[in-house]
Chain A
Amino acid sequence: MNERIKKLRQESVSIKPYISSERAILVTRFYKNTASQVLSAPLKRALAFKHLLENKEIYIGQGELIVGERGPSPKATPTYPEITCHSLQDLDILNSREKTSFKVNGETRRIFEEEIIPFWEGQTVREKIFNSMTQEWIDAYEAGVFTEFMEQRAPGHTVLDDKIYSKGFSDFKEDIEKNLASLDYFIDPEAFRKSEQLKAMAVAADALIAYAERHAKEARQLAKREKDTLRKKELQKIADACSHVPKNAPRDFWEALQYYWFVHLGVIIELNTWDSFNPGRLDQHLYPFYKKGIEEGTLSKEKARELLQAFWVKFNNQPAPPKVGVTAEESATYTDFCLINLGGVKPDGSDAVNELTFLILDVVEEMRIVQPSSAVQVSKKNPDRFVKRAIQIVKTGFGQPSFFNTEAIIQEMLRQGKSLEDARQGGASGCIEAGIFGKENYNLTGYFNLPKVLEITLNNGLDPRTGKKIGLETGDPRRFSSFEELFQAFRNQVRYFLDIKVRGNNVIERIFAEYLPTPFLSLLINDCIAKGKDYHDGGARYNNSYIQGVGLGTVTDCLASLRFNVFDRRLISMEQVIEALKKNFEGYEALRQKFLNKTPKYGNDDDYADSLLKDVFEAFYAGVNGRPNTKGGCYRINLLPTTVHIYFGKMTGATPDGRKASEPLSEGISPVQGADRFGPTAVIKSAAKVDHLRTGGTLLNQKFTPQLLADEEGIDKLCHLIRAYFKMDGHHLQFNVVTADTLREAQRHPEKYRDMIVRVAGYSDYFVDLSVDLQNEIIRRTEHQAF
């Protein structure tokens, strides 16, 4: 890493995130002054976007090569009051909370108090959403049965494909013009609606071109004043690049990166999309520019490395938009889940690993920052040296990159009826979510707390935490004469809450489609232009809504315990179990230890428990998969938690697997922390019993001690372990390589471990930024020793 990058990286890592009022002020004034009765929603949004880009501050930092910031400077974090308007109390919490805090200065607070809050009170999408939900929905939401992604952030969950590397925004505009001209007002009743949407998209396209031009102008002025001749030249190059892209297709490696960056900014300025808008298959997209540059002698490997590193810093400069309440708990992190995919296969199905793949892996290793996150797609066609290079980076202990199974992703996509060519150009985004890049809206809608639903089942519809009846009366479990009866009750309860969740989501999807279309993002995702439809309204080629099952390991172990101890062995009555749970095992420690130690557990390649995992999977899958959403697509499942297993744990009382009230649930499809006793092969065998191909992604976390990867042999064998899991159709695997002792030491002396990054759940984060509960949970995750 050269001096320039060191400095940029250091700046990015050390500046504390803070709330910027810039966007809130601009958007508020726009809405104040745009009271027009004849503006359609898409046009209004496009004009708001234009207003933002025309008026926001332009920032070009010292030594920067890739330019443009979401706010007025790095780590400035905007708010999106049209969706959720932070109250003064919210701001104070953001400012003072211990973890993932955002500084709020007095001036910002004053502006919110005087201008922002009074204007938006009662007018936000968030309020509209909560006011539109049924009482059942509110009850379940408040009880921690599920969360709702869209309650303070807009639908996102999409990734860019290769389209911007061969087309400029002027080309997109041409496509729009053609579509506008071909609208048939005689037979198409949607023609007017489409024309409003298309016009809005054209406005948004022009807005980004003009925004880039503002950077060009600023760079030219800086160049004029610059004394250093080298920097002067760089600034001129920056100016040239910003005049050329995004209006036109990029001409070289540098412009390709700058182009993407403007697009990225456009997406995250337009709305606070959940999450992970990112360039996707970066080694594929950039390779032609890299190759051409090297061949023509206009680019060196070192220059490419420097540009990539400068690009990396830009991601790290943009903390995730500030979340509050439950949403902050379900995803307590600054990271905004940009997951850059490397490797995999080309559209023709051949091995996609190239020289640039390895260069980008070098960048990942050298930069060691939480954003962007990186993933390697491992295809059976990829060489082992690629996988081993990735393992060497994992070994350095910051949780990146994670490993994805290309063949599994392709099969998941094909099962959903997508084309093979599209599937091969897909990948993973966010944490582990599989989708078609550039052509799909695969929207995550919320986490679903499976152990909580079992808890409610064991209480015949009552939430024991509040004493409120929120579920179905599925029968008094003390009267159940067989395990099957219990499981049927659980299945019915799952279905009941899923119905509530899906109904709510079908309303929320429409709220975004009607009130908050997203013309800029729609430019980028096929086939929004061709259909003349917004991204939020089914414009994408593929539209899937996901519900994420959480606590699979915990609920499996609970069911295994009930089956084993109550029904099969008859060691204890259901009445006693319920009593012990009610008392949070106080006075029942021996029983709790039996549940923990003498009861079959998922994660040990033991079918007694693992078969129940499959049953839970089927119950959840049946309640979700294939139900229509409002965008012409349907609901599907995936299995990941982000950090919600901590929050859900807090909302869930003691459970029959021996877990005490408030303790975290298991995460992803990983076994309950510490329940797996036979090492990684047994975990993998158990996890492979889930039918990964019927999901849109699963998350499996493994914690390894450094000794296990100490030598070449260890790296070799981990490579085999990954390959074996992927042969069994495993979707994803990630590793934390750090000792529990080190983590405990970091807890005691956070100041010494500020830069220690660990894998959380499909993403990496600074260990010291995590809540104490989450820190403890990571320490407890089974640490596989060297054998």
Chain B
Amino acid sequence: MLTGVVFNIQKYSIHDGPGIRTTVFLKGCPLRCQWCHNPEGQSPDPEIALWPSRCLQECRECVSVCDRAALSKSDSLVFLDKNNCDLCGTCADVCPSRAIEIAGRRLSVGEVMEEVEKDLMFHDESGGGVTFSGGEPLMQPEFLQALLEESKKKGIHTTVDTCGFSRPDILDKICDSVDLFLYDLKVMDDRKHRQFTGGSNKAVLENLRRLDKQGKDVIVRIPVIPGVNDEEKDIEEMIGFLRSLENLRLLSLLPYHDLGKEKYRRFTLPYMVGNIQPPAGELIEKIKKRLESSGFEVTTGG
């Protein structure tokens, strides 16, 4: 049975494509964008999340069930030694207060579809559907393909939210089952792209051009990250590329926010981006106007 690792299924998603959507977050991402607000989506494996504030002082159930001694507790705080942990998830199962949770569960296509189909009423009513996001959904190509095909078989509108960093043949395989791509475009300068995301944008740009040529519905989503891609030069370079596409019409600006910061602590991951402030409203407005003047339809937020 085909399975994949899913770290969340979000209901009433209202900013991930048309209508009311059910967003399935697939775990694993080839990039390491410093501003990533879903850091739990980066590693392809399940991960342990700790919520110290939920932890019960007297309780030691997690420590006592762990046969690899990966957990210890002192001063009513639980510590996880990642090197000893084999991600079996027993500690998360026994924790009464959800102070330990496991992000990423291996689910079958049928299990995911069962959750998605619970929302059919809302999809139908609103012109919504399912969105596959991540992480990077293309990192689990067979699983994604099966989910998309199953969705199409059931008449559910499909959206894929991707960073575009993928082999072109993988993209080709799923293309027919995708109604809409939400396609991230971060920064045109490849040096900067490598610096801030850990990967080159070459494949990203090529894949976008490829989808555009095929006439696929694409909304390009641009995260606006102060100090990374918010200068005039960045925007102009981007416009240059976007205008060279034949069909692209829709853009969406995603202003950086630091709501993901808390998550880094929970997963004991380093927060790379430091203390960036969310971009000012005027800046977003200015970029929006500039993009609109180049002939694009632009929304913000999402």
Contacts and interface: CB of A to CB of B under 8 A. Distances in A.
A681 B121 CA distance: 9
Given A589-B56, A714-B14, A598 B122 contact: no
Contacts of A711: 301
B119 interface: yes
A727 B96 contact: no
Given A685-B121, A717-B126, A589 B58 contact: yes
A477 interface: no
Contact of B12 (A593, A596, A727, A784): A784
A682 B11 contact: yes
A605 B96 CA distance: 22
23 contacts: A589-B58, A590-B97, A591-B96, A593-B56, A597-B97, A597-B98, A680-B12, A685-B118, A685-B121, A714-B14, A717-B12, A717-B19, A720-B19, A720-B122, A721-B20, A723-B125, A724-B121, A724-B122, A786-B14, A786-B15, A787-B10, A787-B15, A787-B23
A480 interface: no
Contacts, number: 78
Most buried by A among B13, B122, B126: B122
A591 B122 CA distance: 36
Contact of A720 (B13, B20, B58): B20
Contacts of A723: 125
Contacts of B19: 717, 720
B246 interface: no
B22 to A, nearest CB: 8
Contacts of A593: 56, 96-97
A713 interface: yes
What are the 8 A-B residue pairs with the smallest beta carbon separation, nearest first? A720-B126, A593-B96, A593-B97, A724-B125, A679-B12, A594-B96, A679-B11, A717-B14
A interface SS class: helix
Interface string B97-131: 11000000000000000000011011001101000
A192 interface: no
B88 to A, nearest CB: 17
Nearest to A714: B14
Interface in B125-144: 125-126, 128
A569 B121 CA distance: 33
A593 B55 CA distance: 10
Contact of A717 (B20, B61, B96, B98): B20
B168 to A, nearest CB: 31
Contacts of A728: 121
Contacts of A721: 12, 20, 122, 126
A140 interface: no
Most buried by A among B23, B59, B98, B125: B125
Interface of A: 589-594, 596-598, 605, 678-682, 685, 708, 710-711, 713-714, 716-717, 720-721, 723-724, 727-728, 784, 786-787
Contacts of A714: 14
B96 A681 contact: no
A420 to B, nearest CB: 26
A709 to B, nearest CB: 10
A605 B119 CA distance: 10
A685 B20 CA distance: 14
A787 B302 CA distance: 8
B280 to A, nearest CB: 17
Contacts of B56: 589-590, 593
B interface SS class: loop
A477 B59 CA distance: 29
B59 A590 contact: yes
Given A685-B119, A720-B122, A724-B121, 20 more contacts: A589-B56, A592-B96, A593-B56, A596-B97, A679-B12, A681-B119, A681-B122, A710-B301, A713-B15, A714-B14, A717-B19, A717-B20, A720-B20, A720-B126, A724-B20, A724-B122, A724-B125, A727-B121, A786-B15, A787-B23
Contacts of B122: 681, 720-721, 724
Interface residues of B, number: 24
A725 to B, nearest CB: 9
Interface of B: 10-15, 19-20, 23, 56, 58-59, 61, 96-98, 118-119, 121-122, 125-126, 128, 301
A678 B126 CA distance: 18
Most buried by B among A592, A598, A720: A720
Contacts of B118: 605, 681-682, 685
A605 B125 CA distance: 18
B256 to A, nearest CB: 16
Nearest to A720: B126
A724 B11 CA distance: 14
B28 to A, nearest CB: 21
A724 B96 CA distance: 35
B270 to A, nearest CB: 26
Given A724-B126, A727-B121, A787 B14 contact: yes
A610 B25 CA distance: 26
B37 to A, nearest CB: 12
Nearest to A589: B56
A420 B56 CA distance: 58
A541 B93 CA distance: 59
Given A685-B121, A720-B126, A787-B13, A590 B20 contact: no
Contacts of A680: 11-12
Contacts of A681: 11-12, 20, 118-119, 122
A703 to B, nearest CB: 13
B14 A590 contact: no
A708 B11 CA distance: 13
A713 B16 CA distance: 11
A710 B59 CA distance: 42
A682 B9 CA distance: 12
Contacts of B98: 597
Contacts of B125: 720, 723-724, 727
A625 to B, nearest CB: 28
Given A589-B56, A593-B96, A681-B20, A708 B121 contact: no
Contacts of A710: 301
Given A590-B58, A593-B56, A605-B118, A708 B96 contact: no
Nearest to A708: B14
A721 B15 CA distance: 15
A578 B59 CA distance: 21
A708 B12 CA distance: 10
A710 B13 CA distance: 14
A724 B20 CA distance: 11
B7 to A, nearest CB: 15
A605 B61 CA distance: 29
Given A590-B61, A723-B125, A787 B12 contact: yes
A13 B187 CA distance: 56
A135 B97 CA distance: 44
A678 B11 contact: yes
A278 to B, nearest CB: 31
Nearest to A784: B12
B289 to A, nearest CB: 18
Nearest to A707: B301
A159 to B, nearest CB: 30
A717 B98 CA distance: 31
A714 B14 CA distance: 7
Nearest to A724: B125
A390 B122 CA distance: 20
A759 B250 CA distance: 39
Contacts of A589: 56, 58-59
B125 to A, nearest CB: 4
Contacts of A784: 12
Contacts of B10: 679, 787
Contacts of B126: 716-717, 720-721, 724
